[in-house]
Amino acid sequence: MTLTWGIIGAGQIAERQMVSAMRETTGHELAAVMRRDRAGADAFAARHGVSRAYHRVEDLLADPAVNTVYIATPPVAHFDNVTLAAQAGKVILCEKPLARTVDEARAIVDVCQQHGVPLMVCYYQRYNARHQQIRQLVADGVIGQVTAVRVAFSDRYPPAPGAWRHDPSIGGGGPLLDLAPHCIDLVRFLVGPAIEVSALVDTLASDSPVEDTATLLLRLANGAQAVITTHWSTANFDPQGQNTVEIWGTRGSIHAAPINSKDSSGVTHVWTEAGERVFEIPVGGPRTHVALLQALGEAVTAGVPMPIPGEDGLAGMQVIEAAYQSAQTGQRIGIRD
Q: What's residue 175's pLDDT?
A: 98
Do 72 and 175 fall within a single domain? no
Q: 237 pLDDT exceeds 90? A: no
In a domain, residue 302? The reply is no
Picking from 124, 146, 161, the residue at the C-terminal end of a domain is: 124
What is the pLDDT confidence band of residue 142, given thresholds at 50, 70 and 90?
Answer: very high
Do 185 and 249 fall within a single domain? yes
Average pLDDT over residues 154-170: 94
Query: Are 287 and 24 within 8 A, CB to CB?
Result: yes
Q: 270 pLDDT exceeds 70? A: yes
Q: What percent of the chain has pLDDT over 90?
A: 96
Picking from 124, 141, 159, the residue at the C-terminal end of a domain is: 124
Q: What's residue 238's pLDDT?
A: 81
Query: Strands of 252-257's sheet, edge to edge?
Result: 275-281, 266-272, 252-257, 244-249, 146-154, 225-231, 213-220, 194-202, 333-334
Main-chain dihedrals φ then ψ at residue 130, nearest 5 degrees = -70, -35
Average pLDDT over residues 108-119: 98
Q: What's residue 236's pLDDT?
A: 81
Kindly report the average pLDDT of the chain as a whole number. 97
Q: What's residue 240's pLDDT?
A: 72
Average pLDDT over residues 187-210: 97
Average pLDDT over residues 16-35: 97
Using CA atoms, how far apart are residues 322 and 331, in angstroms rounded to an integer? 10
pTM over 0.95? The answer is yes
Q: 54 pLDDT exceeds 80? A: yes
CB atoms within 10 A of CB 4: 17
Q: What's residue 241's pLDDT?
A: 75
Do 194 and 322 fall within a single domain? yes
Do 89 and 236 fall within a single domain? no
Do 69 and 149 fall within a single domain? no
Coil/strand/helix, residue 294: helix
In a domain, residue 295? The reply is no
Do 175 and 323 fall within a single domain? yes
Do 148 and 237 fall within a single domain? yes
Do 131 and 191 fall within a single domain? yes
Crossing angle of helices 310-329 and 180-190, rounded to 10°: 110
Instruction: Give the total number of structural domains in the chain.
Output: 2
Main-chain dihedrals φ then ψ at residue 100, nearest 5 degrees = -90, -20
Q: 337 pLDDT exceeds 70? A: no
In a domain, residue 210? The reply is yes
In a domain, residue 297? The reply is no
Q: 323 pLDDT exceeds 80? A: yes
Express each pLDDT in 66-101 by its tens digit.
Answer: 999 999 999 999 999 999 999 999 999 999 999 999
Express each pLDDT in 121-136 by its tens digit.
Answer: 999 999 999 999 999 9
Do 154 and 98 fall within a single domain? no
In a domain, residue 301? The reply is no
Coil/strand/helix, residue 203: coil
Do 201 and 108 fall within a single domain? no
Do 69 and 99 fall within a single domain? yes
Of 126, 150, 131, the closest CA to residue 224 belongs to 150
Do 169 and 112 fall within a single domain? no
Q: What's residue 166's pLDDT?
A: 97
Picking from 82, 102, 124, the residue at the C-terminal end of a domain is: 124
Average pLDDT over residues 252-260: 97
Using CA atoms, how far apart are residues 145 and 167, in angstroms rounded to an integer? 42
Single-letter residue type at 171: G
Average pLDDT over residues 227-237: 93
In a domain, residue 306? The reply is no
Lowest mean pLDDT among 11-15, 55-59, 333-337: 333-337
Host domain of residue 67: 3-124
In a domain, residue 9? The reply is yes
In a domain, residue 136? The reply is yes
Q: What CATH number is attached to the domain comprising 82?
A: 3.40.50.720
Q: What's residue 65's pLDDT?
A: 97
Q: 336 pLDDT exceeds 90? A: no
